Structure 1
Amino acid sequence: MLSYTMIGSNDLSAAGRFYNAILLPLGYEVERWEKQLCYSMPGIEDQENGPGAFHVTTPYDGKPATVGNGTMVAFRAPTHEKVRSLHAEGLRCGGVDEGAPGFRKAYSANFFVGYLRDPDGNKVALLCTSDYEPIRPK
């Protein structure tokens, strides 16, 4: 079982604006430590260690944070509209569009997703696979 995810940032303030905009509406809580933001779901024992905890931190080795090629973090949203609104909020709060919300032919008919880059260039997916939402038109 995945416990937590951690990514690096060179600007925690910018990263905080971006991740607060897309994660707090999904029900995450945030704690700020000296050089780290910890996003977690309420009511989970050992919140900062997961499951589902997400940390944004300045690198411990003191070197600049860099983007992992092929690395992406995905967050599930309950509806297509929530994917759209969080994608727009992420753009408003310093993110860069990496793929507008919608269906992709490469994925299942109910996989609705929007992609962003955070202020440090990390790739983020916002997705919905709800059975209560429409599927990709044939």
Structure 2
Amino acid sequence: MLSHVTLGTSDIERAKGFYDTVLAVLGIACQFDERAHGWLGYAAGPESLPQFWIGRPIDGRVPTVGNGVTVAFAASSRVMVDAFHRTALGAGASDEGAPGLRPHYHPDYYGAYIRDLDGHKICCVCHAPA
């Protein structure tokens, strides 16, 4: 359904270090390193969609976070959700919701929420039963 998601960063080098570390837990890697132009693209493989992009805003203004915006990455297991959350916090993210069931979404929704180094809300979720 999605082609890509893009979030702004104020520091492309810092963002690369953070996302290289955190997304590796999910088998996602930087496929497009355009740091010279202010962009990084992450995906499960070079031709894979959807893609997750981090970059300097094209309009040159300071990047901001969106109220009500959450980017969610899918995990194949609850163990991966736990590892994502632990790795993100170790890489400098702030906690926005520890790993656990969120039955108000559905009975098997197991998610964790963080704020990345630029303040974007990021989720990792597993929809599979335990």
* Alpha-carbon offset, residue 43 of structure 1: 5.6
Determine helix, strand or coil for the equivalent of 2:65: coil
* Residue equivalent to 1:101: 99
Determine helix, strand or coil for the equivalent of 2:60: coil
Read off the aligned partner of 1:32 and give its amino acid letter: D
**In structure 2, which of residues 112, 115, 118 is the aligned counterpart of residue 117 of structure 1?**
115
Distance 1:21 1:106 in 2: 30
* Residue equivalent to 1:37: 40
* Residue equivalent to 2:2: 2
Which 4+ stretches in 1 moved above 6 angstroms?
Answer: none
* Residue equivalent to 1:79: 77
Identity among equivalent positions (%) equals 35
Query: Unpaired runs of 5+ in structure 1?
Result: 134-138
User: Does residue 27 in structure 1 map to residue 30 in structure 2?
Assistant: no
* Residue equivalent to 2:61: 63
Determine helix, strand or coil for the equivalent of 1:56: strand
Rg: which structure is higher? 1
C-alpha distance after superposition, 1:28-73 (max 9, x if no partner): 22032021111012163xx4xxx21000001111110000110110
Query: Unpaired runs of 5+ in structure 2?
Result: none
Q: CA RMSD in A?
A: 1.3
Alpha carbons 1:96, 1:117 under 8 Å: kept: yes
Alpha carbons 1:14, 1:94 under 8 Å: kept: no
Name the TM-score, length of structure 1 as normaliser: 0.86
Alpha carbons 2:41, 2:51 under 8 Å: kept: yes
Distance 2:103 2:119 in 1: 25
